[in-house]
Structure 1
Amino acid sequence: MKSNPAALLGLTVLTGCFVGLLAVAPALAQDAPARTQDAPASCEVPAYLLTTESTLPKVEHAVKSGLPLDILVVGSRSSTIFTSEASAYPARLQAVLKQMLPKAVIDVSVELQIKKTAEEVAVDLVKLVEVKKPTLVIWQTGTYDAMRSIDPEDFRGAVGEGVVALKEAGADVVLMNLQYSPRTETMISASPYLDSMRVVAQQYDTPLFDRFAIMHHWNDSGDFDLFSPTRGLDLARRVHDCIGRALAKFVIEAARVDPAQQN
């Protein structure tokens, strides 16, 4: 794969800035101002960002047939919170899905693929499915490729191969793109990778959870100040909670499941 050697010089700094919004270090929280008087985040997301024409037939079958719904999140460090995994978005996704589908048996597990490109992750996806046997794989990717300036065409090809492999292995797939950070948007070019994931999603009829656009909306609307580096763990927890809630709604929408029928 092609990469830009100059981009590697700033990789360490970029990693701290880009990933730090959702995986903040505990020391940062000690210096953060108290936010107990702040109003809770609304978590509102425009309807078009939680709507998809692509479906999750295996998730639909599992829910409607009373089968276990096992979800595997394949992600990077931004799928965690260092000091509280229970507050990270995969755990929040599981909690919200259980609230929405109280009769379903739901389990969400996480497979971290830290500092790996989409091509490197794609190689192991089939093995993960064989071992975990998930109904649904949520593949969070693009961040590390953008940091390393991997050729967007190579990135698109790797994501496409990964999606095909996952589906052939028997799992539904949701793609999740990069997180949005106003602090790093001038340092790296996210657009080619966002566009590549949209192309793959359309080509392989796969739901794309547009985390980038959702977080951009929250920042622009004032729900979250994603520019400030001093918000600490409280910000991370609230953003993760909102991502988990939005993702649960997205999965339900793509599975064409009516939660009201589960009560």
Structure 2
Amino acid sequence: MQSVSWLRRRKYGLMRLGLLTLAAVLATAARAEENVPNCEVPPYLLATESKLPKVAEAVKNGKPLDILVLGSRSSAIVSTSDNNAYPFRLQAALKEKLPSATVNLSVELQPKKTAEEMAGSFVKLLEAKKPNLVIWQTGTVDAMRSIDPDEFRAAVNNGVTELQDAGADVILMNLQYSPRTETMISVPPYIDNMRVVAQERDVPLFDRFAIMRQWNENGDFDLFNPTHGIELAKQVHDCLGKALSKLIIDAAQLGPVAQQN
């Protein structure tokens, strides 16, 4: 009888341990799910009437989609080859959404250069890279140096013209949002002028500033607290890459049928 009782107690103990372990696993999974950042972007922030015909042509005809990202230090986290930075998260997202397409991506960082200084290298860069799509992230250095907004607009306009004349689609990307730097530099004139150029040159504008501000105000990311460091940067860049992939697919009008071909 004692042996039977001992076996019952042992069986009950094992069952209880199993239930506790399952509960712990579920609790851990729930916590992990809670920590997954909310990458949602209001549709109006990704809406554009401008098209990306070169991107559409490459994907629909089975040609490689060659993307060149022109940016400053905010286009990277640690280095230009950091797979956690938004350019490479963009590439990963496009490969997932366009499984039959070959997506090549290269990054050209030009830190501490104004829009005018960056544009000076475009001809040689495009001759070497021959991209279908150029994503030009600019405005930060101009704002920090207090470059005349009209001169900034002219430089961006000239740069976009050169990129288009070289046969590439263009996406403009504005400054990243930071609650701290916003109090130190005047951002609106540069954001407004980039929007004007995007409209005049008929190119999509990826409003990184507004998107990141939305995430911060909604509590999705605490961009004011600098202690989060690299991990926060990785999450933000991952979300930016996903949002940018949606803009590209929508602007190139790559619906479900085109994505499967």
TM-score greater than 0.5 by the shorter chain: yes
Q: Which has the higher contact order (CA 8 A, sep 6+)?
A: 1
Question: In structure 2, how many angstroms separate the alpha carbons of the residues matched to 1:36 and 1:48?
Answer: 30
Q: What residue number does 2:58 align with?
A: 62
On the 8 A contact 1:139/1:173 being kept in 2, the answer is: yes
Does 2:42 match 1:46? yes
Query: How far off is 1:85 after superposition?
Result: 0.3
Which amino acid in 1 is paired with 2:61? S
Q: 2:83 maps to what in 1?
A: 86
Residue 108, structure 1, aligned to residue 135, structure 2? no
Partner SS state of residue 43, structure 1: coil
Tell whether 2:163 aligns with 1:166. yes
State the match for 1:242 in structure 2. Answer: 239
Higher helix content, 1 or 2: 2
Contact 1:155 / 1:193 at 8 angstroms: preserved in 2? yes
Whole-angstrom distance in 2 between the partners of 1:173 and 1:248: 14
Q: Spell out the pairing of 1:199-210 with structure 2 (5 A cutoff).
A: 199-210=196-207
* 198, 210, 213: which one aligns with 2:210: 213
1:119-198 superposed matches below 5 A: 119-198=116-195
In the TM superposition, residue 261 of structure 1 has moved relative to its aligned partner by: 3.7
Q: In 1, are the aligned partners of 2:77 and 2:84 still within 8 Å (CA)?
A: yes
Tell me if the contact between 1:66 and 1:104 (Cα under 8 Å) persists in the aligned partners. Answer: yes
Q: Would the aligned equivalents of 2:84 and 2:237 in 1 still touch at CA under 8 Å?
A: yes
Counterpart-to-counterpart distance in 2, 1:259 and 1:132: 29
Q: Distance in 1 between matches of 2:160 and 2:133?
A: 12
Is residue 2:252 matched to residue 1:255?
yes
Determine if the alignment matches structure 1 residue 229 to structure 2 residue 226.
yes
Amino acid at match of 1:54: S
What does residue 71 of structure 2 align with?
75
d(CA) in 2 for partners of 1:37, 1:245: 18
Offset, 1:232: 1.1
Give 1:108 deviation, angstroms: 1.1
Name the TM-score, length of structure 2 as normaliser.
0.85
> Is the 2:110–2:118 Cα contact (8 Å) retained in structure 1?
yes
Letter in 2 for 1:89: Y
Q: What is the SS of the residue equivalent to 1:161?
A: helix
| TM superposition outliers: structure 1 runs of 4+ over 3 Å | 35-38
Answer with 55-64 or 78-87: which moved more.
78-87
| Contact 2:41/2:211 (<8 A) preserved | yes
In structure 2, runs of 5+ residues without a counterpart are 1-30
Contact 1:100 1:259 (C-alpha < 8 Å) held by counterparts: no
Q: Is the 8 A contact 2:60 2:258 kept in 1?
A: no
> Are 2:85 and 2:234, in contact at CA under 8 Å, matched by a contact in 1?
yes
What CA deviation, in whole Å up to 9, does each residue of 1:60-81 have, x standing for no partner? 1001111100000000011111
Task: Give 1:259 deviation, angstroms.
Answer: 3.7
Give the unaligned 5+ runs of structure 1.
1-34
Percent identity reads: 66
Distance 1:60 1:145 in 2: 32
**Deviation of the 1:193 alpha carbon:** 0.1
Is contact 1:101–1:259 with CA below 8 Å preserved after alignment?
no
Larger Rg: 2
How far apart in 2 are the matches of 1:154 and 1:36? 48
